[in-house]
Amino acid sequence: SSEVLKRFLSGLCLGLEQPENPFLPQRNRFFFGLYTVAAVLYRWFIVFSIFMFLNQVLEPYGLKVLGQILGGLGVFGLVVQPLIQLCKFFYTPGRLYKVKRHRLIISASVVGAIILAILFVPYTYHIECPLRIVARESVTDVTTGETYRVSATVYAQVSGELSYRVKPGNWVEQGDVIAHLENDDEHIRLIELEGQLAEARQQRVVLSKQRSVDLQAAELLHETDERIVALANQIEQQNVKVAKLDVRSPISGVVIPASYRPKSGGQDGRLPQWHGSLMEDRNLGAFVSPDDPICTVVTPREADKEAARQALPGEAMAGISFQLDAELVIDQGDIELIQPQNKVEICLELYPNDVIESEITRLAFGNLKESPTSISSQSGGQLGTVMDQSGAARPISTSYYARAQIPDSSRLLHQVDLRGRARVYPGVSRSLGWRIWRFVTRTFHFSM
């Protein structure tokens, strides 16, 4: 099949007259040539796929250079070797004298036109990046200019054992109890402080009676007064901590699970901690820390508020549209091309056949310090990350946040941290050659 294609191109592009070869097929030569073209394209596809796979797998471990070396060897076999064979073809003695010049000029012109088109003809450019779904923090009223919160992530704030929590889908008013934590140590500490305060006050009564006959009683009375004030302040602070064992909602809205927490511990000598969401029944009785998220409270759109408020527990999310955003993570090499109001196409992993159209609403000025768990490569996401000494996932490349609104979330699973991919159209056109050069320079970048 390779010889059939070679003889065809030699006659068409160079005008070379080929002697008859009795060993070549006499029929269906077109399909033999097509098979050769398909084999070459398949070879390119396989090498490129292996290279991209190694690049993605080895990058989080700092071994990206190995994938680049293997990719370079593959490109050498696909590009350099055919060029060497082409040179040998023309250097065959007497071969150039048989070439018809007008056909050579036409062929060279066609190849040159194709190369120029690749290098200079621009067409619409887009940027792909990972994303996750987050609740919109605030909304500004266009008529009054007032900004108000439409979501809040509720944290434990104090340590304790989770003994009660509302179910996802429940409507809660501002100040309602969302969860209750049990912590006997905090109650015991409060009782101890109250006992010490009662003892100090009794001691003050005794010293007040003795200061007329005991000269040291006046000094001890002053120290006791200071101790009473200090104990009263400690009791006030301890009452605040005990009150925080009842976790209350900061806003009115519907309760949805907070960010998913991956399973950890149990393999390196540490006791396993809770994982998943604290809204799950299996995590009742789990010990939570002050910075653990209990849930997220989101306010539906104005048109759906009354329906969500009157719905039965667990049914408030059916057909209700919440105010959600897509949080995009954009590489530093692409962030300078993106501006607010750029068109965005969003595709979530749970809804691969649905494309959500939106636009960029906000860009972050500071770079991303720690990767969200859901889109980290360690959790199966598409953002390349490495684990630091503290166990946090850090992006391999400097990245920035961008926000795009979800116009209608009524068809979506109402849970934050859903992940997917975004395609951003920065409104610029770039040639294929520019894209290839950009890809090569960003992929084959060696630090000296």
Give the tens place of pLDDT for each residue, 228-284. 999 999 999 999 999 999 999 999 988 888 888 877 655 555 567 888 888 888 888
Asked whether residue 444 is assigned to any structural domain, the reply reads: no
Whether 280 and 261 share a structural domain: yes
Asked whether residue 91 is assigned to any structural domain, the reply reads: yes
Asked whether residue 106 is assigned to any structural domain, the reply reads: no
Closest CA to 279 of 178, 186, 377: 178
Helix-strand-coil split of the chain, %, nearest 5: 40, 25, 35
Residue 381: CATH number of its domain: 2.40.30.170
Say which residues have a Cβ less than 8 Å from residue 25's Cβ, sequence separation at least 6. Answer: 4, 32
Asked whether residue 72 is assigned to any structural domain, the reply reads: yes
Whether 274 and 176 share a structural domain: yes
Q: What is the DSSP letter of 312?
A: P
pLDDT (0 to 100) of residue 444: 58
pLDDT (0 to 100) of residue 317: 58
pLDDT (0 to 100) of residue 134: 87
Whether 162 and 292 share a structural domain: yes
Which position has the higher pLDDT, 1 or 418?
Answer: 418
Whether 20 and 75 share a structural domain: yes
Helix or strand run (H / E) with residue 33: helix 29-58
CA distances from 224 to 19, 98, 200 (A): 117, 115, 6
Asked whether residue 115 is assigned to any structural domain, the reply reads: no
Range of the domain at 347: 126-147+323-427
Which position has the higher pLDDT, 80 or 132?
Answer: 132
pLDDT grade for 95, boundaries at 50, 70 and 90: low
- Average pLDDT over every residue of 358-367: 88
pLDDT grade for 19, boundaries at 50, 70 and 90: low
pLDDT (0 to 100) of residue 448: 34
* Contact present, 363 and 335 (Cβ < 8 Å): yes
Say which residues have a Cβ less than 8 Å from residue 134's Cβ, sequence separation at least 6. Answer: 324, 325, 326, 327, 416, 417
Is 80 exceeded by the pLDDT of residue 409? no
What domain count does the chain have?
A: 4
Domain boundary among 244, 261, 284: 244
* Contact present, 133 and 326 (Cβ < 8 Å): yes
pLDDT (0 to 100) of residue 197: 92
Whether 254 and 312 share a structural domain: yes
Whether 259 and 395 share a structural domain: no
Q: What is the DSSP letter of 320?
A: P
CA distances from 346 to 65, 325, 423, 425, 431 (A): 32, 11, 7, 12, 24
Whether 163 and 276 share a structural domain: yes
Domain boundary among 281, 302, 318: 318
Locate all alpha helices (DSSP H) within 121-249, ordered by sequence. 184-210, 215-243
Q: What is the DSSP letter of 281?
A: G
CA–CA dist 149, 68 (Å, integer): 48
pLDDT (0 to 100) of residue 411: 65
Whether 264 and 288 share a structural domain: yes
Residue 351's SS3 state is strand
pLDDT (0 to 100) of residue 131: 92
Is 70 exceeded by the pLDDT of residue 61? no
Sign of CA dihedral 120, 126, 359, 338: negative
Whether 411 and 365 share a structural domain: yes
CA angle 204, 205, 208 (to 5 degrees): 85
Domain boundary among 63, 81, 99: 99
CB-count exposure of residue 50 (10 Å: 0-12, 13-18, 19+):
middle
Interval 378-391: pLDDT, tens: 777 888 787 777 77
Whether 155 and 142 share a structural domain: no
Interval 286-298: pLDDT, tens: 999 998 999 989 8
Whether 330 and 422 share a structural domain: yes
Q: What is the DSSP code string of 113-128?
A: HHHHHHHH-EEE--EE
Asked whether residue 267 is assigned to any structural domain, the reply reads: yes
Whether 164 and 275 share a structural domain: yes
Interval 188-198: pLDDT, tens: 999 999 999 99
CA–CA dist 274, 181 (Å, integer): 15
Is 70 exceeded by the pLDDT of residue 410? no
